[in-house]
Amino acid sequence: MQVHTRTEMSRRTLLGLGAGLAAGVATASTGFSIFSPRAAHAADEFELIRNRYVELLVGPADADTSHPDVVETIQSMTETTTDLLAAVVPGPGRDRVFESEPLVDITDASHIQTTALNLASMAKSWAAPGSPYQYDDELGSAIVDGLQTLHDLQYNVDTLEFDSWYNFEIGAPRGILEAATLVGGILPDQLRADLAAAVAHFVPDPKYNYPPYDDRHKLSTGSNRLFLCQNVLVAAALVDDAERIQLAGDGVPDAIALTTSGDGIYFDGSYIAHTNVPYTGTYGRALVTSSSYVLAMLGGTQWDLDPAEVDPFRHSIVRTFVPWTSEALTMAPVCGRAVGRQNNTSAWLMGSILTLAEGAPEDLAREWQGHVKGWLQTATAVNYFALRPLSEALLAQKLLDSDVPALAEAPGPRLFPEMDRILARGDGWCVSLATASTRTRGFETQGGENLKAWHQGSGARYLYLESEQAQYIDWFPTVDPYRMPGTTVDSQRHGQSSGGRGGFAFVGGSQVGGTRADDGFYQHPAYAGWVQQLKDYGGDMTAKLSWFFLGDGIVCLGADINGGSAGDPVETIIENRAIKTDDMQRWFINGAAVGESGQDGWRATVPGVRSMTLPGSAGFVMLDGPRTVEFVRDARSGAWADISNGRSTQVHTNTFHTAWLDHGTQPDGASFAYLMVPLVTPDEAAAREDDPGVEVVRNDGAVQAVSAPHIGFVSANFHEAATIRGGPLVVTGSAETCVSAVRTQRHRMEIAVADASQLHDEREARVAFPRGHRIRPVYADPTAEVSIDGNELTVTIDSSAADGRSHHVEVEW
């Protein structure tokens, strides 16, 4: 079969580079790459792909591994290999390779995958430069014999898939192919051919999940598609099969293309998997991992992809993945059911972005590397070098020694309306919110994971601090899942969680104070409003919630809180934080320390609360008068197995400070309003009691709105068509519309209008300026139509794209 070459432009992008995929790695200025000249000078392109795969896994054979950080990585690999070697079952006629992983008469296919991945771990030690096991004869024989046993007993062309498809199509073949490629020089030719044939048997076409004989046979998407392509590509390279390499390459473009529906990356930076789950942090980061391998192996070969097929994905990295990393962790709102696992550190994403930089255009590569360098330099709760493979450790070590400047994410809010998520950054902190609508799920429970997720999408608020990075490590098994911070909930008890989709469409927001990129993306907003019309999980309690992001703090509003179960109170959880530092031991209420709050078991109902502060964490200022707040300090214990079947049974304990408002049972129109200011001191919070810097303009079932005169910001979420006065402006909005405005210069203002429900083809907002103002428009998005009548501006937006974006206009007077 003739192999069709992609464009010559694509070939020139990555060929002729002295150190493998040098294009875009900024080799002239940073001088580091995981690809050696030897890999680039392979005798043919099949060998080049194999050599690159080896170096993607363990780095070049002659790499300098003497750096202490890299030594730590090798030590971790060595310890794992020693344990695995000790677990190998010896002798012919065995029914397994490892003692705890049977391969005969099994119904659980995970034993096949685990066996394969164990062999891959051993093979990495066998091939790794600096490893005490490098090219060890005993280890090499154990790996080859293990691959033969695994093939003979299970992974062969005569076996039909059973249990989970993932084990046969992604997990097991990945381990098998890593091991086979790494020990390629001692792998018998027949076994090599048999393993490649087995992969072709289980994955005849990487564009599909499940075998053709299975009723579930369907198109694959996202990271699953790319992992399938990766497995087909490596298996084909093992046996010089150009036709199947072409098949793998042809499956890649659709998996990394931006989308406007279903699974994938959206223009606004959202990432959806499983149809409606925000999944940037797990399936999304897996997409970065798998794409980095596939693009690196194909780069510069006759099967390389056209830049037009790859560049939109590359440009999405900073929009989609960088914002959701907070030094040590990938943030919970975009991790789906994986919050029930113990592996949401940022190390995986760091390493994958570094690998993806191999072969990327120079400006993008340096930007990605700059962000990773910033994380590496500031992360204290994660040991990157103990968690990532050798090649990624080598890249990270060279990055830290390079002249690439470290970067930090810009302050301000970031809106992701396509997945109903928002985050905001300030100096040393980041707050993220998980909301849900009829379009998306606030949480995912699947496969026995994340079984107590009832309120994770009900406005759950997560505060990440650079100074206290361990907050969410072992947090989910120990936190009270009925009191997720930031939520308003009916406190009735539930069984195992399921579903997770929101009950209303009106979820989203508007943003102002930023800039427009060349492609029209609105970036780096300074201020924003966000809304969630909420229906409580498993009940009939409803509420209208809004958040307004003011730079140094967030206004949290709740209104029209109604219904609920007959015997359980409705609660708004102001805080539920694990005590991780000495500063955080006691509450300060109205500026004064509450000594008893430093004692375990403390419970109190405190009336007249105007402000409350956990030093080193955040302060809260009541905006609707003094409130009665419920407090408790308690130690909570739990294991990951309590929230996800099959996970660790090790018990973890955290002591929590929890504070909430009790709205009573079945409230009728209850409300709340408070300002949250991260890292504020008790004195600073108390000083804001009289001058919070923001006014709640309206907070009821029709409108939730605030005005911050000192920054010239007003923002309103209109549940119904209504009019509000915010500072000098009178703003009228259509139902289910979000409107924000900010003064950008003395006589200039930016206005944003958004259809947060994503149901309407057109929305309208009117802004009346003070009498005597002669206003004129100076800019309008192509989707915004502006008309002026005297001192009143009318903005009509074309929201037919149903993407929840903010439509911007600017005016002068």
What are phi and psi for residue 462, nearest 5 degrees?
A: -120, 125
Q: How far is CA 434 from the centre of its chain?
A: 12
Which residue is it, tokens 């707050």?
431
Which residue is it, tokens 């490892």?
98
**Dihedral angle sign, alpha carbons of residues 43, 44, 45, 50:** negative
Q: What is the 3-state secondary structure (H, E, C) of 102-138?
A: ECCCCCCCHHHHHHHHHHHHHHHHHHCCCCCCCCCHH
- How far is the C-alpha of 485 from the C-alpha of 462, rounded, in Å? 7
Which residue is it, tokens 């996970």?
647
- How far is the C-alpha of 177 from the C-alpha of 165, rounded, in Å? 17
What are phi and psi for residue 50, nearest 5 degrees?
A: -65, -45
SS3 state of residue 764: strand
625 burial (CB, 10 Å; 0-12 / 13-18 / 19+) is: exposed
**Dihedral angle sign, alpha carbons of residues 283, 289, 291, 297:** negative
Tokens of 456: 């994770």
Q: With contact defined as beta carbons under 8 Å apart, do 772 and 791 qualify?
A: yes
Query: Which residues 6+ apart lie within 8 Å of 432 measured at CB?
Result: 324, 331, 332, 333, 421, 422, 423, 424, 461, 462, 464
CA distances from 714 to 50, 310, 509, 709, 720 (A): 58, 40, 13, 8, 18
Give the residue from 528, 557, 532 showing the smallest Cα distance to 741.
Answer: 528
Pick the catalytic residue from 274, 341, 494, 524. 274
Helix (H) or strand (E) holding 56: helix 45-58
Pick the catalytic residue from 283, 293, 464, 522. 283
Pick the catalytic residue from 151, 337, 425, 698. 337
- How far is the C-alpha of 490 from the C-alpha of 543, rounded, in Å? 11
Q: With contact defined as beta carbons under 8 Å apart, do 122 and 183 qualify?
A: no
Helix (H) or strand (E) holding 430: strand 429-434
The three-point CA angle 171-173-176 to 5° equals: 110
Query: Which residues 6+ apart lie within 8 Å of 643 measured at CB?
Result: 340, 449, 450, 451, 452, 476, 477, 481
User: Which ranges in 694-757 belong to alpha helices (H)?
Assistant: none
Question: At how many degrees (to 10) do helices 68-87 and 110-127 cross?
Answer: 130
Catalytic annotation on 337? yes
Q: How many other C-beta atoms can be found within 10 angstroms of the C-beta atom of residue 383?
A: 16
- How far is the C-alpha of 749 from the C-alpha of 762, rounded, in Å? 23
Query: Which residues 6+ apart lie within 8 Å of 3 measured at CB?
Result: 242, 243, 245, 246, 302, 303
Widest CA span in the chain: 94
Sheet-wide strand order for 748-754: 695-699, 703-708, 713-718, 737-745, 748-754, 806-812, 776-780
Helix (H) or strand (E) holding 609: strand 603-609
Which residue is it, tokens 């009950």?
503
Q: Please list the active-site residues.
A: 274, 283, 337
